Every structure is written in structure tokens, then in C-alpha cells.
Chain A
Amino acid sequence: MNNILNTSLIFLLLISCKPNAKNLDSRLNEFIKINKINHGKAIFFIGLDECPVCYSEFQNLSKVFENSDVTTVVISRSKVKSVNFIEEIDFFIIDSTYLAWELKLFQSLPVLYKLNEGHYDSIPINHIAKLKKNLNHEEN
């Protein structure tokens, strides 16, 4: 009985390891390739659905992005919200199919991806000041 249990556990472990084979860089690169984003740019993901606070907190992103090379990915099924949100932002992508979520690049909190020594770092962003701070750090 114990043998069966052990074998099953090892089998489950092996299966569960498979989906993690794709690391963050490869998942992000897949997203970059599909959406034709310049590799190496910082990417900011923000979801607007079911998050009224996110919409308000991160309005006027264009001011934050001044002198920063960032692509914004707006994850939302609502065209009205997305289109109004990205006003005056130079580089953006609207992800209405939740591809970012499927690739496990986004859960619920906004997140900034920055290239660091050839690999992408993910930084959860809970308010606009943190975004500013991280982008300034990038410039320095």
C-alpha cells in the first residue's frame, strides 16, 4: 500500500513539475513576441476589471512615464475603460483576452517587469508612488 502511495506521489510530483518548465523569461518573451513589443523595454501590467481602485490610482500614467521607456499592458474586457485609460500614453497594449493571465504574468495586483542583467524582474506595484520610484531607479 505504501509503495503504491509513494509511486503515486512521485508520479504526481513529476506531472506537477511540467507546467513550471516555462520560466518567467520565456513566458514574458512569448507575450513580447505575440504583441510585438521591443525586447528589453520595461513592461507594466495593470488589470482594470473588478478593480475600480486600480483605474483611479493609476490614471495620468503619461506623467509617470515621462522620460521612461515603458510599455503598458491594460488587461480589461471593457473597451470604454481601456480606451479612456490609455489616453496620452505613448506605448500600450490592450489585453482583452487575458493572455497575460494565461501566461501567469499577471494575477490581480499591477506588476512591473524590468530587465536586470539579462533577466526580467517582477515588481508588484500597489500604488503609483511605487511605480514612479521603480522607474526613476531604472533611469539612475
Chain B
Amino acid sequence: MKFLRGFFVILIFTISCKNIEEKLDYDQEFTLKDSFEINLDDKTDYNFYYYDVVNWNERECLVVINQVNNSLDFYDLESGNKKETIPIPIDGPFGLGYVQGFTFVNSDSIFLYRRGTFRGTLLINSLGEVKNSYMPGVKEQSAKDLINHVSIPKNPTYYKNKNLYFLSYQLMDNKNPDNFNKDVLHAGKFGIDSLDISFEKYSGFPPIFWDKTWNSPSTSVSRIMGHEDNWVYSWDLLDSVFVYDFDYKIKKSYYVKSKLRPSKLDYAEFSFPNETMGSNLYYSIKYDRFRNCYYRIYFAKPKDKVEEIPGIHRFDFFPFVIVVLDENFKIIVEKFFPAKKYKPTQSFVGEKGLYLPLSNGLNPELKENKISYELYQVQ
């Protein structure tokens, strides 16, 4: 009897595995090309939240905000060792308190952002010296002065033509359907000479969101600068990706649904107060300028019950798919990854491919003195 039960379990497991492979059958493959490790000291946490890949003294480096040490740390993507540490002013006249991201322009120009406002944004050089502090005037005591600007890999802030192009996270009551309308704008720019802040009128919620209630994970968006400086909007809830030219004059949309996402969605799952926990949603989109393609991350439903998943690290419990798109947003290939091993929210693109960390909090092989990565490329 036990033998029969075991046989059926294996049979079901085999069928279900086959299903995923069959569903994700493409002409091309997204293959493991290499592995890589970053070595950490005892003042560096293995969770990287604010980071970017930059050119530092002719070396490709991953630059990371180190919260424990209050510094910007540069890791060589060849050796995996720390090359440079720049202190971040936390206290004193230019003290930032909590740093909510950065923009690396070049080794002598790095913008550091304060939480909730552009007032006090700093420009520092490679020695950590403050070269400028920006204080846009408070024209009126209004909510406009409070801008929950966050620069993270899901929504980096870009520097171009003396403007910082940012994305703002909404601070609003999800219970009120009136708060979901086209006038709630997400993207804006801050002029570093003019000190003007303005919002982009096409960056509001798409119509499907309007006049309804949603739980927070479902309202999130990933906005990046892609091929030819186009703006790419990947809403976590929507299969379609919206692409605007740099000046928002031309808009196109592309249907890029993961084959593992159900075709018919019950939107009640994503409505307030139902707690979706962030699965069955896309997470972010990344542009690979070396291969001129995009990677879109989709979090599938976990096997664990929602009540067994701590909200504070829920993503660790979700299996996920990386959807690879060509420059015209046509799906080239999709690859499925199991839960509890990888940390796709902390992945990044480098010259050698997509770096996928194995620093999932539930990975039994996780070490605190290094981050291991798998490097993937389309074949």
C-alpha cells in the first residue's frame, strides 16, 4: 500500500514537473553560465536593498548602501572583493538620517536621497565630501513637499539633462476607492539647477485601478529606463507592459504574460482587505543593455498556506519565473525557479549576464560572510 502511495506521489510529481517544462517550452533557453561570490565583512549584511552596477575606475562594480556601516561599498564584479568604501553623512549639518537610495553619475558625482523629501538631497564625491546640498523651496505647506521618493533597483532614479527622474511611492489609504484615479501620479523629475519638482501626467494608475480598493502589493509598479531611453512601466498586477518615449509623446503597450500566470484572474484576490501577500503578481523589470533585452520577474503562488508565511520575508516563500523579452518586448524565453533558494528581488544585470543571488533567508546553504550568485544568459 505504501509502495503504491509512493508510486503515485512520484507520478504526480513527475507530471507536474513536466507540465511546467512543457508550458515553458521555447526555442531558446535561459541557461546557467557561471557562478560568482561576493565576500562580506562583519559590518555587512547579506541583504542588499539599494544597489547599482557602475563603472568605478575602469572596473565593473556593484555599489551598495551598507546600512550597518553607513557607507557606499564598491564590490569588484571580477574578484568579488570590496574595492572602495565611501562614508555616508548620517549626522551633522548634512546628515541624511535614513538614506532612501542613491544615483551614481560618475566616480565624483553621487546623489544621496533623504526619506520623504528632496530637501537635503546631497551630491558627494569619491571621498564622501559633500559637493552640494539641494534645498527646493517649500512653496506652500502642502503634501507636494512630502515626496516618498525611493531609488531602488525596482525603481531607480536616473540623472539626465540636469534632472533627476524619480518614482514616488504613494502614501494613501487603500481602503478608499477615490484614492485610485488617474491624478495620482508616480513619476516625476527634480531639476538640480531650477530646484523645480514636477510630476509626469502619464504616470498615474491605469484605468483598471480606478475607483476600486486594492491591497498594497497589487498597486506597485516597476519603472525603468530601457532601450533608447524609453520609459518602461511594468505594473505588478498587469500582464501588459507600457512603454513611453523619453518625452512621453508616444505610448505603446505590449502583452507579455507569463505562461505560468493563470489566464483568468479573480481580481477579488488583489482587492483590499484580501491579503495577496504579493504572489501571482509581477515584481520588477530590468533592462540588459549588454544584450538589449529585458528580464521580468513573476512571483507564482507558493505551496505554503498564506497563514504559514511571515509577511516580513514573504518573497522567500514564492517560486518565480524570469520572463526574458527582446527589445520589442516579445517573449524569448521563460525560466521557472523554485522557492526558498534564490533572492530574485536582489538580482542585477552585469556584463556577464543576470546575477541571481542564492541569499534566500530559507536557503540552508546561506552563509553570512558571502553572497553566492548564479549567472544566467539567453542561449
- Taking beta carbons and an 8 Å cutoff, which residues of A are in contact with B? 47, 49-53, 55-57, 75, 77-81, 84, 98, 101, 107-108
| B42–A53 CB distance below 8 A | no
Contacts A49-B361, A52-B49, A78-B45 given; does A84 touch B68 at CB 8 Å: yes
| A101–B98 CB distance below 8 A | no
**In the bound complex, how far is the Cα of B315 from the Cα of A111, in angstroms?**
22
Interface hit among B160-168, B200-208, B290-298, B305-313? B305-313
| B98–A56 CB distance below 8 A | yes
Which residue of B has the minimal Cβ distance to A78? B45
| Of A78, A79, A101, A107, the contact of B47 (CB 8 Å cutoff) | A78
- B125 contacts A by Cβ under 8 Å: no
- Taking beta carbons and an 8 Å cutoff, which residues of B are in contact with A? 40, 42-47, 49-50, 67-68, 97-99, 115, 310-313, 315, 361, 368
Which residue of B has the minimal Cβ distance to A80? B45
Contacts of B46 in A (CB 8 A): 78, 80
**In the bound complex, how far is the Cα of B73 from the Cα of A80, in angstroms?**
16
Contacts A78-B46, A81-B68, A84-B68 given; does A49 touch B312 at CB 8 Å: yes
**In the bound complex, how far is the Cα of B42 from the Cα of A78, in angstroms?**
11
Contacts of B50 in A (CB 8 A): 52
| A79–B368 CB distance below 8 A | yes
Contacts of A77 in B (CB 8 A): 313, 361
Which residue of A has the minimal Cβ distance to B361? A77
How many A-B residue contacts, CB cutoff 8 Å? Answer: 52
> In this complex, which of A49, A52, A53, A81 has the most chain B Cβ atoms within 10 angstroms of its Cβ?
A52
Question: Which 5 A-B residue pairs are closest in the complex by CB-CB distance?
Answer: A56-B98, A101-B310, A108-B311, A81-B45, A47-B312
Question: Closest approach, in angstroms, between the C-beta of B5 and any C-beta of chain A?
Answer: 26
Contacts of A84 in B (CB 8 A): 43, 68
| A53–B98 CB distance below 8 A | yes
Question: Closest approach, in angstroms, between the C-beta of A76 and any C-beta of chain B?
Answer: 9
Contacts of A80 in B (CB 8 A): 40, 42-46, 68, 368
| A57–B313 CB distance below 8 A | no
**In the bound complex, how far is the Cα of B49 from the Cα of A55, in angstroms?**
12
Question: Closest approach, in angstroms, between the C-beta of B194 and any C-beta of chain A?
Answer: 30
| B47–A56 CB distance below 8 A | no
Contacts of B40 in A (CB 8 A): 80
**In the bound complex, how far is the Cα of B97 from the Cα of A55, in angstroms?**
11
| B313–A49 CB distance below 8 A | yes
18 cross-chain CB contacts under 8 A: A47-B312, A49-B47, A49-B361, A52-B49, A52-B50, A52-B67, A53-B98, A56-B99, A57-B98, A75-B312, A78-B368, A81-B45, A81-B47, A81-B68, A84-B43, A84-B68, A107-B312, A108-B311
Question: Closest approach, in angstroms, between the C-beta of B307 and any C-beta of chain A?
Answer: 9
Which residue of B has the minimal Cβ distance to A107? B311
Contacts of A57 in B (CB 8 A): 98
Question: Closest approach, in angstroms, between the C-beta of A96 and any C-beta of chain B?
Answer: 10
Which residue of B has the minimal Cβ distance to A108? B311
Contacts of A47 in B (CB 8 A): 312
Question: Closest approach, in angstroms, between the C-beta of B282 and any C-beta of chain A?
Answer: 18
Which residue of A has the minimal Cβ distance to B40? A80
Question: Closest approach, in angstroms, between the C-beta of A22 and any C-beta of chain B?
Answer: 15
Contacts of B68 in A (CB 8 A): 55, 80-81, 84
Question: Closest approach, in angstroms, between the C-beta of A16 and any C-beta of chain B?
Answer: 11
**In the bound complex, how far is the Cα of B361 from the Cα of A22, in angstroms?**
29
**In the bound complex, how far is the Cα of B44 from the Cα of A55, in angstroms?**
13
Question: Closest approach, in angstroms, between the C-beta of A50 and any C-beta of chain B?
Answer: 5
Contacts of A98 in B (CB 8 A): 310
Question: Closest approach, in angstroms, between the C-beta of A6 and any C-beta of chain B?
Answer: 24
